[in-house]
Amino acid sequence: MTSISYQKGLIDCTREELVREVEKKLSRERFKHCLRVEETAIQLAEKHHEDVERAAIAGLLHDYAKEHQLADLEKYSDHPDYDPEWKKWGRSIWHGPLAAMKAQRKLGLHDDEIYWAIFNHTVGSFNWTSTAKIVALADYIEPERDFPGADDVRRLADQSLDAAIAFKLKHELTHLIETEKPVYPQTFNVYNHWHQTHQKG
């Protein structure tokens, strides 16, 4: 079980306060997903000698806004990182950005690496920090995730964060196309950027 206490002043609350806040805003099932992502993120950070506290906070908070309404998003239209295009794509695309902006404004999150890891956890970015990789992967491989190859990615993520991210980018884009979903431009651009910067041979 998770036993972490926040010590770096990255956010103005204790873990217990943050857990209660996330629990208040989500269904039981999604709240438990957030706890599993937190735990998986901690394990990945420990294994790869990365920042455990950043991974834990970002993991716990990543889906904080997943059950918020469009009206909640619109309250942030004055935020410098707000993109009016999000509305056309729906909650699956804007829940990460809203969670990050709300954590910053309402929960006292003042750490950029955590902010952007939450912001981009669904679609990725051109500037992958270790925390961003860990949260995206923890979300993908937390113990209740079940898809063909899930155990292969779990093993891959233990060996190399980059190898597991490469797997996720490829398989998620393929899955979107196979299920005839539109691909959000950043999803596609992130895939291309990764490909261009991690060429083999």
Residues of this chain that interact with Fe ion (CB under 5 A) are: 63, 139
CA–CA separation, 195 and 185 (whole Å): 15
| Dist CA 8 CA 10 (whole Å) | 5
| 121 binding ligand GDP? (CB under 6 A) | yes
Judged by CB under 6 A, which of 40, 104, 120, 122 binds ligand GDP?
122
Does residue number 184 form part of the binding site for ligand GDP (CB under 6 A)? yes
Q: Which does 131 bind (CB under 5 to 8 A by kind): ligand GDP, Fe ion, none?
A: none
Separation of first and last alpha carbons in the chain: 41
In whole angstroms, how close is the CB of 148 to ligand GDP at the nearest point?
15
The token pair at 84 is 């009016």
Task: Give CA angle at 123 (11, 29), nearest 5°.
Answer: 65
Distance CA 193, CA 126 (A): 6
Q: Considering the rule CB under 6 A, would residue 119 count as an interface residue with ligand GDP?
A: no
CA dihedral 190, 195, 196, 199 (to 10 degrees): 160
Return the range that interacts with ligand GDP (CB under 6 A); candidates 10-18, 45-53, 121-129, 191-199: 121-129
Token reading at 197: 């910067």
Please state the closest distance from residue 117 (CB atom) to Fe ion, in A.
12
Strand partners, 11: 109
25's enclosing H/E stretch is: helix 15-25
Could you say whether residue 86 binds ligand GDP (CB under 6 A)?
A: no
CB of 174 to ligand GDP, least distance (A): 11
- Between 12 and 147, name the residue whose CB sits nearer to Fe ion: 147
Pick between residue 70 and residue 195 the one whose CB is nearest to Fe ion: 70
Toward ligand GDP, which CB reaches closer, 58 or 108?
58
Which residues sit at the interface with ligand GDP, rule CB under 6 A?
Answer: 63, 66, 92, 121-123, 139, 176, 181-184, 187
